[in-house]
Structure 1
Amino acid sequence: MSTAPDRRSRKRQATRQAISDAATRLFIERGFDQVTVDDIAEAADVGRMTVFNHFQRKEDMFFDRDAEGRELLLAALAAKPPQVAPLEALRRLAHQLVQEQHPALAFSARSASFVVAVGASEALKARARAIRGELEAALAQALAHSAGRAAPDADAELAASLLLACWSTAYLQAHQRYRISADEAQAQALFLARVEQGHAAVQAALAGTPYV
């Protein structure tokens, strides 16, 4: 009974992936601002409206893994053992993702080109800020829930804001190191060192709360 819906779902996902892959290739080749939605539709061999059926805006094709990163953070909080504090669960997640060489924390020529592209486009920088705001709100709510507090919670909001600032700084500095050294291990080590420094500061700021 579920064969047809499953087939439709797989077809829809395959179309979305084809659009995303075509968009990524064009963004890398030409630069984000020089690529139009019509260019992407042609490269993916779909209609313009099909592109918008899968992506609300062109920027969403660039940040097509945004939802995956969000789910990683929220899942780490939801699955943490009761004896592990919320901030500690997220600190461990950073180490786990680096150890597993997860694409979300890859330091490579491809990921470096992604960071450079964001810095070169006002539209992408604006969308990145919006995504971070959305993530901050979701993380604050998840932190409050994990600590048994009702949202909105001022301490959870502070923790989410500080944590994302820490991870963002660590990510950008690690990519700066990679562009200089082309050494993934050095970039990973710097990322984790900055995460450790940041988490120590956040834990100090949140001392006396159920988040540490």
Structure 2
Amino acid sequence: MMRCMSTPSPKLRSRKRLATRQSISNAATRLFLERGFEHVTIDEIAAAADVGRMTVFNHFPRKEDMFFDRDEEGRAILAQALRERAPGVSPIESLRRLAYRLLAEQSPYLRFSAESQGFIKTVEASETLKARARAIRDEIARAVAAMLAECAGREASDPAADLAAHLLLAMWTVALIQAHRTFREKQDSEEANAVFLAIIDQGTIGLNAAMAGTPYA
């Protein structure tokens, strides 16, 4: 009597796909940190992750996407903070509170440590990664502008939302750069955290003043 082979459930297939993606990303990041982004090939990444070359491209169309593999997750966190903010909390304030929450949770996005320095140094040593980081920042700014406009019930092209989003991204960029620089100089995570939050707090004051009279402040 012949038996039909069971077909993996969609959830199982999804878990396997995510596990493969994470394995590729982990292998790639380890090689990038050890040898530098430009000195690692796709074939070497595939071998380290024990997958085929085409499997790598199926999960990551661009080599640099393996390094910035948390990009989509980060955008989802921003969207959730804006859309699920408490009544009476402005969009700008919700993102200030998000900064505090992510630090308290020791999120990998806001980790100022010896480990994170390896990540930063790898980016600084690669023109490709620096260009992709700038592109991601611009993409996130556009996404945040659309989220802000949606929260306020305005058109996605609302210029006030666009201004607020770009000011927000500039503030977070400066805060991150200064916090990483502080850790590099002082080797003190707590001091780096304090620098990051101080810039976020000061920047939020300026943002609220700049966006006064809009639904975003």
TM-score by length of 2: 0.95
Give 1:125 deviation, angstroms.
0.8
C-alpha distance in 1 between matches for 2:8 and 2:92: 42
Q: Secondary structure at the match of 1:208?
A: coil
Output aligned runs, 1:1-212, within 5 Å.
4-212=9-217
Distance in 1 between the 2:132 and 2:182 partners?
25
CA deviations 1:22-64 (Å, max 9, x no partner) are 0011011101111111110011111100000000110000000
SS in 1 for 2:89: coil
Question: One-letter code of the match for 2:131?
Answer: A
Percent identity, aligned pairs only, is 60
Shift of residue 3, structure 1, vs aligned partner:
5.5
Secondary structure at 2:157 match in 1: coil
Matched residue type, 2:21: R
Matched residue of 1:40: which SS? helix
What is the distance in 2 between the residues matched to 1:40 and 1:117? 16
- Once residues 2 and 129 of structure 1 are traced to their aligned partners in structure 2, the CA distance between those partners, rounded to angstroms, is 43
CA distance in 1, matches of 2:105, 2:88: 24
Gaps of 5+ in 2: 1-5
| Aligned mates of 1:149, 1:82 — CA distance in 2 | 18
Q: Which amino acid in 2 is paired with 1:37?
A: I
Pairwise CA distance, 1:170: 0.3
- Name the CA distance, whole Å, in 2 between partners of 1:7 and 1:99: 33
For 2:66 and 2:21, the matched residues in 1 are separated by: 9
- CA RMSD after TM alignment: 1.3
Give the greater-gyration-radius structure (CA). Answer: 2
Offset of residue 81 of structure 1: 2.1
Q: CA–CA distance in 1 between the matches of 2:198 and 2:7?
A: 48
Tell me, yes or no, if the aligned pair for 1:139 and 1:160 is still in contact at 8 Å.
yes
Q: Deviations over 1:122-169 (max 9, x none)?
A: 100111111111111110000111122121110000000000000011
Letter in 1 for 2:149: A
Tell me the distance in 1 between the aligned counterparts of 2:61 and 2:117: 25
Structure 1, unaligned stretches of length 5 or more?
A: none
Aligned residues: 212
Runs of 4+ more than 6 Å apart: none
The one-letter amino acid of 1:78's match is R
